Chains A and B, each alone.
Chain A
Amino acid sequence: MESLKLKKITALWVITILVLFLAAIVLGILMRLNQAEVINQEPLTFYTNMTTHGLTMIGIWFVAGMAAVNYLLQRYVKTSYTANLFAFILTVLGVVLLWLCTYLGKFNTGWTFLYPLPFKDLGAAPWATPLFLVALTILGLGWLVWSVSMMAKILQRYTLAQAFAWQHLSKQPKSETPPFILITMITLVGVIAALIAAVIVIVLFFAEYFSKGSFVNDALLMKNLIYFFGHTIANEMLYLGVAVIYEIFGELSGRPKWKTTWYVSLAWNSALIFILTAFFHHLYMDFVQPEGLQIIGQLASYLASLPSVAVTVFSIIVAIYGVRIQWSITNCLFFLGVIGWVIGGLGAVIDATISNNIVLHNTLWVPAHFHTYNAMGNVLFSLGFFYWFTTQHVSKLVISKLTKFALIVLIISGIGFLMAFYIGGADSIPRRYSTYPEALTTGPALARMGAYFACLYLLVILMFFYNIAKRCFAILSAPSSSVGA
């Protein structure tokens, strides 16, 4: 009965995520079309769309990873259905409030809501900023309770040392920690830290809002905290997807399940430390930030990404090299997603290098790399999980000719859409411009290219949506007896 409830709530998550995903893609396309001068939106509309697009994408792909991990965690520990449902209700409520803020209240600071922008008169309604903070509080509360609940459930079965797989650092470990548990634990700690940073930011914003001038915030502190939250959560959601791959890639491919080794344990434990300090690379242009923190930012950016990426890629290569494996839509999406993650990660590391950042800072290189590991990385991890979740059987995941064609179109459209960003970034085209000045001649042409390829990407996602959503509705409408674990 418990697994049926879990299956139904997971199906609800999947449908909600996909509906919001389609809406957010449309907003992204509208932004690129505006930059391409194909349509003509007011700057306020552009920035409202940009804010909604960013907030929605970050939110949905984080909860997609959480829902997937929660579902698979049931294999090892009994998770809390109440916490899952609580997070779902608060997420839906939070998203509705956010969309109200942006479309009725015209809140348009961008998803990073950098201080003091929410307090500046940017054309938003006076109630938009407090409502935005309330929406963030609701989302943060739901996610924090969910994360803490999952962590507590893991720690009820595993000791702290086992949960972090520290015994694997010795030569003969007495017990085994599944890689899924290790990566989930590492990720949950990071997620909780990010959400606590968000709590502090919200408290400080509210304090200034209600103090009516008797308290002001420090811009440097707020920027550090906002990126502690924003950068960390954006990276941890990738790790949630990676945890899913470690759990089901082997069984889907007809290969042995992956095991935790000393280097897997070491790589992921070090990733935890470094991921919490990598966000300093967002402050390279802030000259008052102490130089030591800038250096930590660069080192942590390398050390946070490279070990975990190297270990995961190595594991995948070992799993597929020289053996005949059964390719399904899920492990195809996982495989493509890992490639997107690696390429996007490299783009990120290039940008996180101080000497490069001087050139690439706030250019289209930034959306280039984060769209690579999201649109062609994390999204594919989650879509792969959604397919597997709605079928639960390898034989039903066989790739048809139409699916093969869709995957090829997905790759082509993804590359085309991303190349428009990368070329623009290399050409120093700034990001977050609603329209480009005349001097930036390549800007509109690249935006047009990006928009058209994004339309193609949207078509493929629509097809995936149709396939996944109809199965989700079947799960939701099926009587209790017909839905197995």
Chain B
Amino acid sequence: MLRHFICTLFFSWSLIVFGYGAPANLDEEQNIYAQIYNAPIKLSPTQAQVSLADIYNRKPMLLAFVFTRCTGVCSPFLLQLNETLRQISGKYLYQVVVLSFDPRDDVEAMQSLSTRLHLEKSTQWIFATTDSITALNLSLGFDPIWDSSTNQFDHEALLVGVNTQGYITKKLLGIRGDLELRQMLASINNAYIPSYRLPADNDLFSCFTYDPTTGKNIPNLGLLIIALPALVSFLLLVCIAFFSRNKAAKWTE
């Protein structure tokens, strides 16, 4: 029986290790609670460079990644972000830093972007460039890919929440609603945000599967595994009792 048990364990382990080879894609959980790279940034043509830490040490920061030649999601992303932030009450401290990940962009281009969005006079919005975008992207798990056929970057609309200690507290991909933005604002202000990792292909034994259509968690295989030790030990008990009695009976005979 022990041999069968060991074989089953080994088989399950092999299945786990070798059967599922696809690595997880970039998702909102990567690099959470990691320190953001303290990149030097440029805010205006006349001012000297400052560090990102100079910005987030002052006030918690929402960091949005765009590029000025973007013909896709960048403008709707910023417009919607501005609109949603206006609707959210001013309970939380924050500032928005819009940073270009395109090395061709300069500060002037970013300033004209702010003018186009009517944000040039806002004290809460900062438009900037950096010459350390690779290191910054790496610290965020952000990987925009240049497509030379379209002269565009293939990228996600990424918004990163950073608290005043420089820790990444939350990441949002795509244009998101006010509920998630509220959670992000709370998280950069160090408020506790309950969250549960979304199931991925490489997470076989998740306790719950989140159903996005209903917004509910459906119990999954992981919950069954919690009961496994008790079930196996009772089974073992019954087997031992059965075989021990047989053995004892044989000896008596």
* Residues 186 to 226 of chain A near chain B (Cβ within 8 Å): 189, 192-194, 196-197, 199-200, 203-204, 206-207, 210-211, 213-221, 224-225
B9 and A160 form a contact (CB under 8 A): no
B interface footprint on A353-382 (CB within 8 Å = 1, 0 otherwise): 000000000000000000000000000000
A148-156, A260-268, A466-474, A477-485: which lies at the interface: A148-156
Task: Knowing A189-B233, A214-B23 are in contact, say whether A288-B208 is a contact too (CB < 8 A).
Answer: yes
B interface footprint on A148-177 (CB within 8 Å = 1, 0 otherwise): 100110011101100100000000000000
B204 and A221 form a contact (CB under 8 A): no
Contact of B244 among A152, A194, A287, A290 (CB under 8 A): A152
A260 to B245, CA, bound (A): 23
- Report the minimal beta-carbon distance from B227 to chain A, rounded to whole angstroms: 10
Chain B interface residue count: which class?
A: 35 or more
Contact of A276 among B16, B230, B248 (CB under 8 A): B230
B202 and A220 form a contact (CB under 8 A): no
Contact of A216 among B12, B202, B219, B241 (CB under 8 A): B202
A216 to B203, CA, bound (A): 5
A203 and B9 form a contact (CB under 8 A): yes
- Report the minimal beta-carbon distance from A168 to chain B, rounded to whole angstroms: 18
Q: Which residues of A contact B222 (CB under 8 A)?
A: 218, 220-221
The 4 closest A-B pairs by CB, nearest first: A197-B229, A193-B233, A221-B222, A155-B244
A interface footprint on B212-253 (CB within 8 Å = 1, 0 otherwise): 000001010011011011101110111011001101100000
A206 and B208 form a contact (CB under 8 A): no
Q: Which residues of B contact A21 (CB under 8 A)?
A: none
Q: Which residues of A contact B197 (CB under 8 A)?
A: 218-219
Q: In chain B, what residue has the closest Cβ to A277? A: B230
Task: Knowing A204-B205, A214-B20 are in contact, say whether A224-B241 is a contact too (CB < 8 A).
Answer: no
Task: Knowing A148-B236, A193-B230, A228-B226 are in contact, say whether A288-B247 is a contact too (CB < 8 A).
Answer: no
Task: Knowing A189-B237, A220-B207, A221-B226 are in contact, say whether A156-B248 is a contact too (CB < 8 A).
Answer: yes
B200 and A288 form a contact (CB under 8 A): no
Task: Knowing A156-B248, A217-B205 are in contact, say whether A151-B240 is a contact too (CB < 8 A).
Answer: yes
A159 and B17 form a contact (CB under 8 A): no
- Report the minimal beta-carbon distance from B211 to chain A, rounded to whole angstroms: 14
Interface centre among B194, B204, B207, B228 (most CB of A within 10 A): B207
Q: Is B191 an interface residue (CB 8 A)?
A: no
Q: Is B114 an interface residue (CB 8 A)?
A: no
A220 to B220, CA, bound (A): 12
Q: Which residues of A contact B20 (CB under 8 A)?
A: 211, 214-215
B233 and A196 form a contact (CB under 8 A): yes
Q: Which residues of B contact A199 (CB under 8 A)?
A: 9
A211 and B16 form a contact (CB under 8 A): yes
Q: Is B139 an interface residue (CB 8 A)?
A: no
B205 and A228 form a contact (CB under 8 A): no
Q: Which residues of B contact A214 (CB under 8 A)?
A: 17, 20-23, 202
What's the tally of chain A residues with a CB closer than 8 Å to chain B?
40
Q: Which residues of B contact A193 (CB under 8 A)?
A: 229-230, 232-233
Q: Which residues of A contact B236 (CB under 8 A)?
A: 148, 192
Q: Which residues of B contact A288 (CB under 8 A)?
A: 194, 196, 207-208, 217
- Report the minimal beta-carbon distance from A209 to chain B, rounded to whole angstroms: 10
Q: In chain B, what residue has the closest Cβ to A120? A: B33
Q: Which residues of A contact B12 (CB under 8 A)?
A: 203
Q: Which residues of A contact B229 (CB under 8 A)?
A: 193-194, 196-197, 200, 225, 228-229
- Starting from the known contacts A189-B234, A218-B207, A221-B226, 17 additional A-B residue pairs (CB-CB under 8 Å) come to A148-B240, A155-B244, A155-B245, A156-B245, A192-B237, A194-B229, A197-B229, A200-B228, A211-B202, A213-B202, A214-B17, A214-B21, A215-B203, A218-B205, A224-B207, A225-B229, A288-B217
Q: Which residues on A are within 8 Å of B, measured CB to CB?
A: 148, 151-152, 155-157, 159-160, 163, 189, 192-194, 196-197, 199-200, 203-204, 206-207, 210-211, 213-221, 224-225, 228-229, 276, 287-288, 290
A215 and B17 form a contact (CB under 8 A): yes
- Report the minimal beta-carbon distance from B223 to chain A, rounded to whole angstroms: 8
Q: Is B146 an interface residue (CB 8 A)?
A: no
A203 to B225, CA, bound (A): 13
A220 to B224, CA, bound (A): 12
B237 and A221 form a contact (CB under 8 A): no
Q: Which residues of A contact B17 (CB under 8 A)?
A: 207, 210-211, 214-215
* Residues 86 to 135 of chain B near chain A (Cβ within 8 Å): none
Q: Is B179 an interface residue (CB 8 A)?
A: no
Q: Is B206 an interface residue (CB 8 A)?
A: yes
- Report the minimal beta-carbon distance from A59 to chain B, rounded to whole angstroms: 19
Q: Which residues of B contact A163 (CB under 8 A)?
A: 241
A interface footprint on B5-26 (CB within 8 Å = 1, 0 otherwise): 0000100110011001111100
- Report the minimal beta-carbon distance from B145 to chain A, rounded to whole angstroms: 21
Q: Which residues of B contact A217 (CB under 8 A)?
A: 203, 205
Q: Which residues of B contact A196 (CB under 8 A)?
A: 228-229, 232-233
Q: In chain B, what residue has the closest Cβ to A153? A: B244
A287 to B217, CA, bound (A): 12
B244 and A156 form a contact (CB under 8 A): yes
Contact of B226 among A203, A210, A215, A224 (CB under 8 A): A224
* Residues 149 to 173 of chain B near chain A (Cβ within 8 Å): none
- Report the minimal beta-carbon distance from B167 to chain A, rounded to whole angstroms: 14
A288 to B207, CA, bound (A): 9
A244 to B183, CA, bound (A): 55
Interface centre among A151, A196, A218 (most CB of B within 10 A): A218
Q: Which residues of A contact B206 (CB under 8 A)?
A: 218, 221
- Report the minimal beta-carbon distance from B228 to chain A, rounded to whole angstroms: 6
Q: In chain A, what residue has the closest Cβ to B204? A: A215
